[in-house]
Amino acid sequence: MVNGNPAFSICIITKNEEKKLENCLAAIESFIDLQKDAELVVVDTGSTDKSVEVAKRHGAKVFHFEWIGDFAAAKNFACEKASCDRIFLLDTDEYLEAFSNEDIEKVFSGGEGNIGLFLRKNHFVTDGQGRIANEWVPRIFSRKLYHYEGRVHEQLVGANGSSDDAPRIKTAIVADHDGYMLSPDDIRKKADRNIELLIKENESLQKKQASDNERAYVLYQLGKGYYYKGDYKAAADYFDEGLSYDLNEKLDYVADMVVSYGYALINSGREQEALKLEGVFDTFSYDADYLFVMGLIYMKNARFDEAISSFTKATERPECRVEGTNGHLALHNIGVILECTGREDEAQEYYRRSREKNKP
């Protein structure tokens, strides 16, 4: 509470997601006093279910925004309707798992130009197995200094059209995200919707001669869209084009684009072509997910010693995006290689270590 007013505003846009919205708001209320510490702003973009009713029941200020195929426009509208300049933006399918008001204060204690990140745990299924991919997302900011741009997979930008130089503060806030836990048909529908918006965004960026980073980010998201719907060839082509630009290799999305490119090449039967990612080994060898996909690429090309080396290096990295790539998944793959090359005793030891690492 600041001078009798909430310290920050929580902004959410929604459409026809009453169950997810209920879970999202219930999670918020388990950590935040919405009568004292923060206000809740929900912008509905055309629901025909009970989303608006759910939002009002939780004490939200509800506003309506006509959907124009632009997520940035809807989120900017939500921020404009907030009473506070300090914004904490959540999506309907994100559920707080850890939060304290001090996290918000931490972001701005060093300056209003700071951007706060929380850890989002993305749940998804691959090869019939549940996986979690960790991602730091920028969602705490001052609306006086930042706004959103981009029809889909929108990004925060400042007055100069970029936020790359803004201090980014990692908080202890954690949220679960189930936006990828969909049926195959719903995944395709969501991917097709995003691809349509991204193609329009790409055309707009071409006309205005956007920066390399802006162009590459949209190409990266196009690649992800095609990857999710199972069109790995198209995904690889977009990743390849995105990586042709002059980019800052330390940006999270750039590292993920390299890794995603590797998986797309493997899944489209282009294992030999994927070996060209050796060329950026020195640049991305800090990244466990890169080392893991290189291990897979080496395996697919029967370069087993190099695969074991790459998986081993992955286990030495303290952090990863997809949980297990620096732990039980890498150890299991080393076991598979050892077993297939007749080193049974060593293989069993790696399988044991993998099981130990994978214990809850």
Q: Is the per-residue pLDDT at 360 higher than 80? A: no
Q: Is the per-residue pLDDT at 4 higher than 60? A: no
- Cα–Cα distance measured from residue 278 to residue 72, given in angstroms and rounded to the nearest whole number: 37
Residue 65 pLDDT = 98
The amino acid present at 341, given as its one-letter code, is: T
Q: Is the per-residue pLDDT at 126 higher than 90? A: no
Q: What is the pTM of this model?
A: 0.90
Domain boundary (149, 177, 205) is at: 177
**Are 95 and 174 spatial neighbours (Cβ–Cβ below 8 Å)?**
no
Q: What is the dihedral of CA 127, 130, 133, 138, to 10 degrees?
A: 120
Q: Is the per-residue pLDDT at 2 higher than 60? A: no
The per-residue pLDDT for range 78-115, each reduced to its tens digit, is: 999 999 999 999 999 999 999 999 999 999 998 999 99
The amino acid present at 140, given as its one-letter code, is: I
Residue 1 resides in a domain = no
194 in the same domain as 160: no
CA atoms within 13 A on the CB side of 83: 15
**Are 258 and 243 spatial neighbours (Cβ–Cβ below 8 Å)?**
yes
Residue 311 resides in a domain = yes
Q: Is the per-residue pLDDT at 261 higher than 70? A: yes
Residue 2 resides in a domain = no
Q: Is the per-residue pLDDT at 127 higher than 80? A: no
Sign of CA dihedral 214, 218, 224, 230: negative
Please give the residue that has the higher pLDDT: either 64 or 250.
64
DSSP string, 53-67: HHHHHTT-EEEE---
Sign of CA dihedral 263, 269, 275, 276: negative
Residue matched to tokens 């695969």: 307
The per-residue pLDDT for range 190-207, each reduced to its tens digit, is: 999 999 999 999 999 988
118 in the same domain as 245: no
Sign of CA dihedral 134, 96, 9, 73: positive
* Residue 253's CATH number: 1.25.40.10
Number of domains in the chain: 2
Residues 285-302: what's their mean pLDDT? Answer: 98
**Domain containing residue 49:** 8-177
Q: Is the per-residue pLDDT at 146 higher than 90? A: yes
188 in the same domain as 167: no
Q: Is the per-residue pLDDT at 3 higher than 60? A: no
151 in the same domain as 102: yes
Pure H helices in 243-327? 252-267, 271-274, 281-284, 288-300, 304-315
130 in the same domain as 252: no
Domain boundary (120, 155, 177) is at: 177
Residue 35 pLDDT = 83
Please give the residue that has the higher pLDDT: either 343 or 7.
343
Phi-psi region of 21 (alpha: psi -120 to 50; beta: other; left: phi over 0): alpha
Residue 251 pLDDT = 85
Structure tokens at 46: 């055309």
199 in the same domain as 294: yes
Residue 210 pLDDT = 86
Residue 73 resides in a domain = yes
314 in the same domain as 259: yes
> What is the widest separation between alpha-carbon atoms in the chain?
71
Residues 316-342: what's their mean pLDDT? Answer: 97
Confidence of residue 250 (pLDDT cuts 50, 70, 90): confident
Confidence of residue 130 (pLDDT cuts 50, 70, 90): confident
Confidence of residue 163 (pLDDT cuts 50, 70, 90): low
Residue 294 resides in a domain = yes
Residue 211 pLDDT = 87
